[in-house]
């Protein structure tokens, strides 16, 4: 599962990078060829992306939700894009018979995707803060195994759900240290928010709850900004 998510993430990232370079080039051309007297405000679009591990509670039990986000930074003011998440949880403790075979096991797997909108509140050189609004669609799969009368019985049940959420994100950015500018591409991301399910089908389970996350971050938009600035400096004067 992780390999598929990583391949998807990297593939989409390359597409976004290519599209962003093209968008910037078109904007540069438009700025050069514009002949009227009105001021021209160039729009900027930069790729963003990160792995997003969240810690939460489902039915009162702690879970780790693994995923990624991939999107665009527009005019250095807000980000928008998509995310994909999954988790695997042992709902009940596994019970074994005298021979060590499981006689009862219940596993929950969650898979869901989201679209998100993230406007910045503050952007400083070494830290930035933003709000995160999300809406998505997902599926919950319950796999159960029971041993009755010496026979193992397995059953799979599937439920669809629509989650929405809101949170607060904080990024801490490593400053330049002795000219090591590449360090400013890295930092720490933390987030806290609330998840609410507005629709569920089939069996009813409580997927509502708080979530939080903290981990390392790579700021792809800053890498793109430096690359774009370098390309502009290399352009010959006409």
**pLDDT per position as a tens digit, 100-117:** 666 777 888 999 999 999
Percent of the chain with pLDDT over 70: 71
Q: What is residue 76's three-state secondary structure?
A: coil
Is the confidence at residue 214, as pLDDT, over 70? yes
Name the pLDDT band for 24 (thresholds 50, 70, 90): very low
The predicted pLDDT at position 8 comes to 53
Burial class (CB in 10 A: 0-12, 13-18, 19+), 188: middle
Q: Are 81 and 70 in contact (CB under 8 A)?
A: yes
- Cα separation, 166 vs 211, in Å, equals 10
Fold of 2-33+42-234: Porin (2.40.160)
What is the average per-residue pLDDT within 153-170?
91
Name the pLDDT band for 233 (thresholds 50, 70, 90): low
Structure tokens at 117: 């909108």
């Amino acid at each position: 599962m992780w390999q598929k998510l990583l391949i998807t993430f990297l593939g989409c990232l390359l597409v976004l990078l290519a599209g962003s370079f093209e968008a910037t080039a078109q904007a540069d051309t438009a700025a050069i060829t514009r002949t009227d007297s009105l001021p021209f405000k160039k729009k900027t679009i930069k790729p963003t992306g990160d792995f997003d591990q969240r810690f939460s509670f489902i039915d009162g039990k702690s879970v780790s939700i693994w995923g990624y986000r991939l999107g665009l930074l527009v005019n250095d003011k807000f980000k928008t894009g998509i995310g994909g998440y999954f988790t695997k949880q042992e709902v009940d403790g596994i019970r074994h018979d005298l021979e060590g075979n499981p006689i009862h096991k219940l596993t929950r797997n969650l898979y869901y995707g989201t679209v998100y909108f993230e406007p910045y509140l503050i952007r400083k050189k070494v830290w930035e803060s933003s709000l995160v609004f999300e809406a998505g669609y997902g599926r919950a799969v319950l796999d159960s195994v029971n041993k009755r009368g010496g026979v193992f019985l397995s059953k799979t049940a599937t439920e669809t759900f629509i989650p929405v959420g809101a949170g607060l994100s904080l990024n801490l950015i490593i400053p330049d240290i002795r000219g090591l500018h590449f360090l400013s591409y890295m930092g720490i991301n933390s987030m806290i928010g609330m998840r609410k399910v507005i629709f569920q089908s089939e069996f009813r389970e409580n997927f509502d709850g708080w979530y939080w996350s903290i981990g390392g971050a790579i700021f792809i938009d800053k890498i793109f900004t430096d690359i774009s600035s370098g390309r502009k400096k290399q352009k010959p004067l006409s």
